């Protein structure tokens, strides 16, 4: 008899706790930049070898809202109009190839979304379908060359891809084979996710992301959910020289991979 009352008593508080936890896991306030409750999300597999011998996944998703002045809510100093919250991260297993570590490398992921529509498909993880293979090749060559130049110049930098993209964003360079709006976006968030150390032969990798812990979120003003769904999200992955690492022989030593998706992803 005694055990019954003991087991019965905690039932209600336990149930309440479970409901609260569930509710918390499923919602993320729009204004909270540490998480995302995506209206649309896409994940695509891609290869980023040799560092990751198995395919990794690129995730992009967004949430949308409408700011009205009467709500008294403002984000990034703006208080009226449609707004989108974008997010991205990579997903990968723990298998990393330590025998590919021959220099101090920093790996980064940049994402640009906005002022670019098209149909992802074909080579370069869907980017050739958006702008053609020539443009994909030219973007890779431009970024390889810029990171190579940065590394031989000798002035300090922390994240090579982020450094060269900031310059291209501030002073957009026209690539003849590419859409002219390539660098014309409100922001290009960049996250560094792997740091190789040639001395110890080890690599430090950021944890895979998820919607509770996306790598980054950012706000895009003046864009509605349906407009964002038309936009192609371009992911740029790089594995480049950490500042002060051994001199590169040529720009080809910088690895650049592209990935182009839309959310929601159209059926192919």
CA 246 from chain centre, in angstroms, equals: 28
Q: How far is the CB of 172 from ligand NAG (least distance, A)?
A: 10
Residue with Cβ nearer ligand NAG (45 or 264)? 45
Provide the 3-class DSSP secondary structure of residue 191. strand
Contacts of 148 (CB under 8 A, 6+ apart): 248, 250, 251, 253, 254
Q: Which residue's CB atom is positioned nearest to ligand NAG?
A: 114
Q: How far is the CB of 184 from ligand NAG (least distance, A)?
A: 4
Q: How far is the CB of 81 from ligand NAG (least distance, A)?
A: 12
Angle between helices 133-153 and 160-170 (to 10 degrees): 110
Q: How far is the CB of 266 from ligand NAG (least distance, A)?
A: 16
> Other CB atoms closer than 10 Å to residue 105's CB: what's the count?
24
Strands of the 52-67 sheet, one edge to the other: 40-48, 52-67, 81-91, 216-221
Residue with Cβ nearer ligand NAG (48 or 215)? 48
Residue with Cβ nearer ligand NAG (46 or 96)? 46
Q: How far is the CB of 126 from ligand NAG (least distance, A)?
A: 9
Q: What is the CA radius of gyration of the chain?
A: 22
Give the CA-trace dihedral at 121, 218, 167, 165, to 10 degrees.
-40
Distance CA 6, CA 217 (A): 46
Residue with Cβ nearer ligand NAG (47 or 98)? 47
State the residues that interact with ligand NAG by CB under 6 A: 45-47, 55, 104, 114-115, 184-186, 197-199, 220, 223, 244-246
Residue with Cβ nearer ligand NAG (10 or 123)? 123
């Amino acid at each position: 008899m005694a055990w019954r009352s003991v087991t019965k008593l905690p039932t209600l508080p336990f149930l309440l706790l479970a409901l609260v936890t569930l509710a918390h896991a499923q919602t993320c306030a729009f204004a909270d930049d540490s998480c995302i409750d995506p209206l649309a999300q896409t994940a695509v597999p891609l290869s980023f070898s040799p560092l990751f011998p198995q395919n990794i996944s690129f995730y992009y998703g967004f949430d949308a809202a409408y700011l009205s002045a009467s709500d008294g809510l403002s984000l990034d100093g703006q208080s009226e109009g449609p707004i989108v919250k974008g997010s991205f991260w990579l997903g990968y297993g723990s298998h990393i190839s330590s025998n590919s570590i021959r220099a101090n490398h920093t790996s980064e992921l940049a994402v640009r979304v906005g002022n670019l529509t098209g149909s992802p498909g074909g080579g370069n993880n869907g980017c050739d379908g958006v702008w053609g293979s020539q443009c994909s090749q030219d973007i890779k060559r431009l970024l390889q060359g810029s990171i190579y130049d940065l590394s031989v110049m000798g002035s300090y930098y922390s994240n090579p891809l982020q450094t060269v993209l900031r310059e291209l964003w501030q002073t957009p360079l026209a690539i003849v084979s590419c859409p002219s709006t390539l660098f014309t976006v409100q922001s290009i968030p960049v996250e560094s996710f792997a740091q190789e150390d040639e001395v110890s032969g080890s690599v430090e990798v950021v944890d895979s992301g998820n919607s509770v812990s996306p790598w980054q979120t950012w706000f895009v003003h003046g864009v509605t959910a349906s407009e964002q769904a038309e936009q192609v999200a371009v992911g740029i992955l790089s594995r480049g020289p950490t500042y002060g690492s051994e001199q590169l022989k040529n720009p080809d030593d910088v690895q650049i991979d592209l990935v182009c998706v839309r959310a929601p992803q159209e059926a192919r």
